Chain A
């Protein structure tokens, strides 16, 4: 299985993602933002970081970068596109995913472990994961997901909510919402479920000596479902 990780200037989780993908059997390649085309891939990953400094608005410049046209074409033809953290922000900026990511409710950067509940397993990302609740890690300042009521209705109707913040028992209520995201949304799909954007970092949870291992489940499932 071939994967491509796009490096934007300011990306800083590109290496971590490369390490994770390779660990679970992907043949991964790094692709520079200024390239015109992406080499043949089964999965494209937009990694975390601060693309172009995130000075204008998180992910906005990356959403207009040279390489992004190929990402959009790939996604529209049904290819798997995974955006983590800044990658999620970029996906909403391109319009591939609905909604936006605002600054965290309490205005602070948050770096900690969180639990998320898998809301839809009818997709290649979560299909064979046995657990309902995963322990993942967040590290962001703008992870407060927001969308209009109509959009929310539509993403709920289409089963597009991927993961929600919750406690270790799976209660995804306001008490377990680290950043103010609407409906505790931590990640969403597009309608076809081939595009996933999420704030938590599975690539930081792939080893018992790190913050945890539940990230492994996502990578194992991805490679297994291809």
Chain B
């Protein structure tokens, strides 16, 4: 065994003073296996050392919350003893190096987090961010990531019901792949990772351990340079078939009463899973590494402990239940090995070929892990841009609209989601491409809505506002399908936390998320942090992805976004001030990237959302779509294309010009469709509730018109909107 010194520790990603702290705690030099364990547990990815003190501020409580952050996934109550287990997680670094396997194992990992808790996965979602469309790597990365997500989720047989795809040059060297899973569980049959009791057998199940993914978690905690391709061997390889077997076998075992605690082997593999279970149970753990099923020959204790081979679980069983459990795993042809036991030593003790090869107090690895109060700078709200009449002089509405509808961040993403099985399990009642995906709770009248959102442009311009905005956007997506928003999970993708500006972006986005989720009673129940999304000194824009879920108590009352019938009225709920700074319009048409993002008014946000749900419960709305990127006219166009109908727009009132009105990205707005016979009633209710609304137009066939200023056929806009991505991928 090689001698450990400071340089070896640094090569493991530890800082000098961290290495010194290890030696001080142990009162000796660690051996190489122990050093590996420390480096895995103390890296950013596992220890949250830069983020922990800020994450504590998140709003995590609520009547509906059964389990908040800190477990494998969050759990919320959806009534009648049903609960939803859900979480989002990043797999950014591996996906950039090896897009197919990186994305595939990201999906596999998040599904394990969910079924570890006893839930059957019922829906997958994802949020993926790529570099500029002109960047040489973008096409291949997009193709690989989409194939990877599909390859894994399709094989397991869990529908991918919604997602989000963005392009921005800040991701040229660091793409983002965030995967989210929802699972359904009986709220009285939830499994946790906390071990309990001494001398309980520790069981290893699933795939064999190989040399893949060694130090994956450490890689996720470093910045990239030119030699990043050399890291390919640290990317794990996924086997969705084995995961499907593991899922079925675990759920079968969970139907009985033999499991005390269970934990999937994710980042830092056997190391973090064993330590986490023992740490939560305030116990020690003893493992004989000779008994771990290995795929490759001559694996060392160091390699076995740090491997990130996929599709593995660690279980603490009731003593004497080993045979019963083994039978189930034999049936599913999976490895099953008793590899150790719980102890009262509060140490992790590892044996290999009858020799003790490591012994570390668990406290040192978990509670004593470093925690940093990193310096950060507060972002200033940028000065508003005053666009003059000249800016708009030669512009035509139709040309602007066509350009916006073929913007990579607006254009239709069907090319992507047609590669995901979104209908397996037979409960998908709203497919990708709408406001949110919706799946029924099997065999009931209930349904769960889910969506993922991010808005890096706004977060980059002003992190505090951006953080609030993403939560609001998620909330709006739930409202738009008629679901009551329940809770969120967040995936916080940021640059290098050692830089004050990046750390500031993180701190203020978290503050924004907290403020909005508290006000809207939309708590955060799970999530993860991905720092060091930086290549050669260039970091990504701050990108918190918010995965939201909502509940429909009667799925038959779900709302969709396509226009339904000619002659129906179209309203905009919420006030339009014509905020163009940081909008798609400003970027794309006026080539201006400056100014503040649209302001968030949480009071209006809540009022407007609740009034939509109120109208829905009274069966007064036919269609709903929230107004987001690209403003009102973009939203109307998407609703028209989906419903194959047009809209005759009424003259706008007020002081804003037509470009500001139709393309401004003011927040808290929805477009709804109302039957003529309900018109009076809807107006009365909205006035009574003091909700601002504009009568926008009336549904008609085939074209969108606005006086003499705009006349555009649905077929024309459809063509560009529907084909942009397909054509991009072919070229």
Contact A50-B244, Cβ < 8 Å, known A9-B332, A108-B419, A110-B419: yes
Q: Is B157 an interface residue (CB 8 A)?
A: yes
CA distance A209 to B724 in the complex (A): 29
Which one of A50, A137, A210 lies within 8 Å of B155 (CB-CB)? A50
CB distance from A136 to the nearest CB of B (A): 11
Interface pairs (24), CB distance under 8 Å: A9-B241, A9-B245, A9-B332, A13-B157, A15-B426, A16-B426, A50-B157, A50-B240, A52-B241, A53-B242, A108-B147, A108-B418, A108-B419, A109-B419, A109-B421, A111-B417, A111-B420, A111-B422, A139-B423, A203-B426, A207-B426, A209-B429, A209-B556, A210-B429
Residues of A within 8 A of B424 (CB): 12-13, 16, 48, 139, 204
Binding site for A on B (CB under 8 A): 147, 150-151, 154-157, 239-242, 244-245, 332-333, 417-429, 431, 440, 555-556
CA distance A152 to B258 in the complex (A): 56
Q: Does the CB pair B241–A10 fall under 8 Å?
A: yes
Residues of B within 8 A of A19 (CB): 426
Q: Does the CB pair B241–A211 fall under 8 Å?
A: no
Q: Mark A1-17, 1 if CB is under 8 A from B, else 0.
A: 00000000110110110
Residues of B within 8 A of A210 (CB): 423, 426-429
Q: Does the CB pair A111–B157 fall under 8 Å?
A: no
Q: Mark A126-148, 1 if CB is under 8 A from B, else 0.
A: 00000000000101010000000
CB distance from B246 to the nearest CB of A (A): 11
Q: Does the CB pair B425–A15 fall under 8 Å?
A: yes
Q: Is A49 an interface residue (CB 8 A)?
A: yes
What are the 5 closest A-B residue pairs judged by CB atoms, nearest first?
Answer: A12-B157, A53-B241, A16-B426, A139-B421, A209-B429
Interface residues of A in 80-115 (CB under 8 A from B): 108-112
CB distance from A193 to the nearest CB of B (A): 27
CA distance A15 to B421 in the complex (A): 16
Q: Does the CB pair B240–A53 fall under 8 Å?
A: yes
CA distance A209 to B554 in the complex (A): 12
Contact A9-B244, Cβ < 8 Å, known A53-B239, A210-B426, A210-B428: yes
Q: Does the CB pair A10–B244 fall under 8 Å?
A: yes
Contact A55-B556, Cβ < 8 Å, known A10-B155, A111-B418: no
Q: Does the CB pair B555–A209 fall under 8 Å?
A: yes
CB distance from B419 to the nearest CB of A (A): 5
Residues of A within 8 A of B157 (CB): 12-13, 49-50
CA distance A19 to B419 in the complex (A): 25
Residues of A within 8 A of B147 (CB): 108-109
Q: Does the CB pair A111–B426 fall under 8 Å?
A: no
Known pairs A48-B424, A139-B421; list 4 more (Cβ under 8 Å).
Answer: A9-B333, A55-B241, A111-B423, A211-B431
Residues of A within 8 A of B155 (CB): 10, 12, 50, 53-54
Residues of A within 8 A of B332 (CB): 9
Contact A211-B423, Cβ < 8 Å, known A9-B333, A10-B244, A111-B418: yes
Residues of B within 8 A of A109 (CB): 147, 150-151, 154, 419-421
Residues of A within 8 A of B240 (CB): 50, 53
Residues of A within 8 A of B244 (CB): 9-10, 12, 50
Interface residues of A in 45-71 (CB under 8 A from B): 48-50, 52-55
Q: Does the CB pair B428–A110 fall under 8 Å?
A: no
Contact A111-B419, Cβ < 8 Å, known A9-B332, A12-B156, A209-B555: yes
- Among A12, A13, A206, A211, which residue has the most Cβ atoms of chain B within 10 A? A12
Residues of B within 8 A of A203 (CB): 426
Interface residues of A in 1-40 (CB under 8 A from B): 9-10, 12-13, 15-16, 19-20
